[in-house]
Structure 1
C-alpha cells in the first residue's frame, strides 16, 4: 500500500488550486469561457505601459495566462493570511476573465461577492 500523498502546502500549489477553482467557477457560469484555457506562467516576457502585467489574454487562441510571481509579489494585502491570499488570486482571475469578455469583473460572479 502506498503512503498518502502529502498535503498541498507550497505557495505554487496553493496558487494553482486558487486559479483552477476560480477558472472552473467562471467556466460553469459563463458559456463564453467554457473553451478558454486558463494557464499559469511565472513571469511575463515584457512590461507594458502600465507596468508588469498580472495576466495576458489571447482571444484567438482562447487562452488566459496568469503570471504567478507578479500576482503574488506586487499585490498588497491588508491582511496576510491564506484566505486573503486566495481571495486576491481569485480576484485577479476574475479581472482577467472580465477583460477577456470585455465586461466588468463584478458582473462575472454577483452571487460570489454578495457579502462584500
Structure 2
C-alpha cells in the first residue's frame, strides 16, 4: 500500500475537530431537539422506582428506611443446581439484579408489558421477603379487576 507523501507531524487546523477517519464529531442518534432513547437499563430502573414508590405508599412505616438498589449480577457462584438469585435482602437494603431478571426470565410473550410485570413481581417478592409476608398480601386491592 503506498504511503502518503504528507509528513505525520504536519497537522492542519481542522485536525483537532476530526477523528482518525476524517469525520466530524457525531451528535446523538435522536438529535438535539428530541428526548434520548429509552434503553433497557432505563426501563428497568424506572420500573423498580415506580414499584418501590407504590409499595412505600402502601406500607409507609414498614418501608420508610428501606433502600432499593440495582446491581448487574449477584456476587459469587450459586451452588450446583441452585437457581441464580434475582434479588438479595441485606438488612434494610433490597438489591435487585438486573441481568438475571431480564435475561433469565421465561416470558410467554416478549413485549414491554410482560417485561415490566416480571420486574414488578421481583420487587414485590423481595419486599415480601423483607417484611415476612406473602407477595399477594402486599397490595391485595391492586390485583382485583372486578
Specify if TM > 0.5: yes
Residue 57 of structure 1: CA displacement?
0.4
CA distance in 1, matches of 2:89, 2:108: 28
Please list every run of 5 or more consecutive structure 2 residues that lacks an aligned counterpart in the other structure: 1-31
Larger Rg: 2
CA distance in 2, matches of 1:55, 1:102: 15
Pairs within 5 Å for 1:73-84 = 73-84=103-114
Local SS of the residue matching 1:40: strand
Could you tell me the TM-score, scaled by structure 1's length? Answer: 0.88
More helix by share: 1
Residue 3 of structure 1: CA displacement?
4.0
Q: Which moves more between the two structures, 104-113 or 47-56?
A: 47-56
RMSD of aligned Cα (Å): 1.7
Q: Which moves more between the two structures, 41-50 or 102-111?
A: 41-50
The higher relative CO (CA closer than 8 Å, separation ≥ 6) is in 1
Alignment match of 1:12 (pick from 28, 41, 48): 41
Please list every run of 5 or more consecutive structure 1 residues that lacks an aligned counterpart in the other structure: none
Size of the aligned set, in residue pairs, is 112
Preserved contact between residue 28 and residue 34 of structure 1 (Cα < 8 Å): no
Preserved contact between residue 47 and residue 53 of structure 1 (Cα < 8 Å): no
